[in-house]
Amino acid sequence: MPLRTSAAVLAGKTARVASRMRGGGSALPGLVAEKVDPQFLRHTLSQVTGGIVVVSGTNGKTTTTKMLVALLRAHGRTVFTNPTGSNFTRGVVSSMLPQIGPSGRLDADLAVLELDEAHALKFAATVRPTHALLLNVARDQLDRFAEIDHTARLLAGLARHTTDGVVLNLDDDFVARIADDEGDRLTVRYFGVHASIADRLPELREQDVRFGEPFTPPTPGPDDGLLRPRDERAFDIVFGECAVGPVTLQQRGLAAMINATAATTTARLLLGDAFSAQTAADALALVRPPFGRGEVVMVGGQPLELVLVKNPAGFTVALGTYGSSPVATMIAVNDNDADGRDVSWLYDVSFESLRERGVAWTSGIRAYDIALRLEYDEVPVAHVEPELTAALDAFTAAHPDEPKRIFCTYTAMMALRRTLAARHDLPDFGEEG
């Protein structure tokens, strides 16, 4: 390891200790390390010989990354990942520092990194990934990343920087067509849904016609993973004449199953003949939902479910998965930088599934905006309380004897979960990876 990199490790570790004592952010140690050695990532990850995998896309990165890491570890691999969900390069460095020992080496066979679309491309300009798992393209934080086709170009750019293989979403035209440009250079695998549930695709797809001529997806091959559900948690992942399953997740819904299919297809590509269908099924069954992604907290003997929503496609899937079940419902919407300042996307979500029971509380910075949006869909709203903790307290007190669910944007979810973690036995954010 270069002398400058060794100095960066020492400086970063020192900054990490100081940051934790002062309650600082998780990216600060990474910032310090990169100041000392601007090539810290390249120097450190060059030691990882089994592969560097980047997981990117609009929806499902955190869940899919967690599943992929679990699959690889269950097969005996030592994996470095960025468990805090800090999907910027400095967050990756910060996550790396505790795992670098006195010798200066990163103890890992593989690296699996969750990176958002823009930062994945910046990362790949410094460290070329061996593999990329590209999930989907949907409108997300448009004021930050501009239009859908721009996001698609970012993912295509990531594929161009990848050296060995890509795993693409067969059912997302923006992602699947990346193989047209890279298929001769890279090993390409696809994940998607089985033909038996193709009628459910509209709830997952972001409709857009800017590419002009329609795209015909390729015919799946024996190494491509197809999701075939049994019920809301159990399913098979079909590879030609073979299958992994039944797989039963702790997290409900079609979106979680698709994430598991993507992770399993990628693990199968990485592991080759060492891949075991039974080991994979067992590993997926043990994966807890990442915080806020369908996580269930017991409050007063009743389940309270946190469901992260951040764009029309994701909210539509969440409502299709959760919205029709008879529970007390709260919706919390913030418009901080991490949420995206423009919340007009809420008008592209249909809330009709909430009409019969209604919404007990709306909260967050945009509490009145979401209440107005629900009124347009004739969804009754009982109470509006912008302050999140006050709304949470009132919501749980008013519905003590029934299940509860909160749909929340990112910073609202983080704030609510911190409050719940202080009151109940929940793992810290940093323990989720």
Domains of the chain, residue spans: 3-285, 293-431
Confidence tier at 312 by pLDDT (50, 70, 90): confident
Residue 235 has pLDDT above 60, yes or no: yes
Q: How confident is the model at residue 317 (pLDDT cuts 50, 70, 90)?
A: confident
Which residues are within 8 A (CB) of 196 and not within 5 positions of it... i.e. 6 or more apart?
A: 228
Classify 73 as helix, strand or coil.
helix
Are 3-285 and 293-431 the same fold in CATH? no
CB 408 within 8 A of CB 385: no
**Rounded distance, CA 272 to CA 251, Å?**
27
User: For residue 144, what pLDDT band results from cuts at 50, 70 and 90?
Assistant: very low
Reply yes or no on whether the pLDDT at 203 is more than 70: no
Is the pLDDT reported for residue 65 higher than 60?
yes
| 4: three-class secondary structure by DSSP | helix
Fold of 293-431: Protein-Tyrosine Phosphatase; Chain A (3.90.190)
35 pLDDT above the threshold of 50: yes
Q: Note whether 190 and 168 are within 8 A (CB).
A: yes
Q: If pLDDT is split at 50, 70 and 90, which confidence band does 250 have? A: confident
**Residue 139 structure tokens:** 């409108």
Tell me the CATH number for domain 3-285.
Answer: 3.40.1190.10
- What is the model's pLDDT at position 147? 63
What proportion of the chain, given as a percentage, has pLDDT over 70? 82
Query: 109 in helix, strand or coil?
Result: coil
Query: Is 215's pLDDT higher than 80?
Result: no
CA distance 23 to 220: 49
| 89-96 vs 117-126: helix crossing angle, rounded to 10 | 60
- Averaged pLDDT for residues 382-396: 97
Cα separation, 18 vs 145, in Å, equals 33
Find the helix or strand (DSSP H, E) in which 423 lies.
helix 410-423
Which sequence positions are flagged as catalytic? 342
Q: Which residue has the higher pLDDT, 206 or 366?
A: 366
Mean pLDDT of 403-430: 84
Distance CA 433, CA 430 (A): 7
pLDDT of residue 39: 74
What the block records as the tokens of 353 is 């599934």
Confidence of residue 431 (pLDDT cuts 50, 70, 90): very low
Given a cut of 80, is residue 32 above it in pLDDT?
Answer: no
The reported pLDDT for the residue numbered 211 is 46
Percent of the chain with pLDDT over 90: 48
Of the CA atoms within 13 Å of residue 150, those in its CB half-sphere come to 10
Q: What is the mean pLDDT of residues 157-186?
A: 92
**Cα separation of 122 and 56, whole Å?**
12
Q: What is the pLDDT of residue 424?
A: 81
pLDDT band at 323 (very low <50, low <70, confident <90, very high): low
Is the pLDDT assigned to residue 85 strictly greater than 60?
no
Contact yes or no for 114/87 (Cβ under 8 A) = yes
Task: Tell me the residue type at 227.
Answer: L
The Cα angle at residue 80 between residues 76 and 86, in degrees rounded to 5? 140
Residue carrying the six token digits 């919404």? 359
Tens-digit pLDDT profile for residues 2-13: 666 777 766 667
**Which among 225, 239, 131 is positioned nearest to 186, based on CA atoms?**
131
* 400 CB neighbour count, 10 Å cutoff: 12
Q: What angle do CA 213, 214, 217 make, to 5 degrees?
A: 135
In angstroms, the Cα distances linking 16 to 11, 22, 102, 104, 326 are 9, 10, 16, 16, 45
| Residue 421 burial (10 A CB sphere; 0-12, 13-18, 19+) | middle
**Region label for 144, one of left (φ > 0), alpha (ψ between -120 and 50) or beta (otherwise):** alpha
Choice between 356 and 282, residue whose per-residue pLDDT is larger: 282
DSSP 274: G
Pick the closest to residue 364 from 335, 406, 399 (CA basis). 335
The whole-number average pLDDT for the span 265-275 is 97
Please give the average per-residue pLDDT across 274-286, as a whole number: 97
**What values do phi and psi take at 100, rounded to 5?**
-95, 120
The amino acid occupying position 57 is G
Q: For the chain, give the mean pLDDT.
A: 84
Walk across the sheet containing 359-363 and list its strands. 293-299, 302-308, 404-408, 328-332, 359-363, 381-385
pLDDT band, residue 207 (cuts 50/70/90): very low
pLDDT of residue 24: 55
Cis peptide before 403 (omega within 30 of 0): no
> Which residues, at least 6 apart from 18, have a Cβ–Cβ distance to it below 8 Å?
24
Start-to-end CA distance of the chain, whole Å, equals 27
Top-confidence residue, 268 or 318: 268
pLDDT over threshold 80, residue 84 = no
Q: What is the pLDDT of residue 206?
A: 46
> What per-residue confidence (pLDDT) applies to 239?
97
Stated pTM of the model? 0.78
* Residue 337: predicted pLDDT: 86
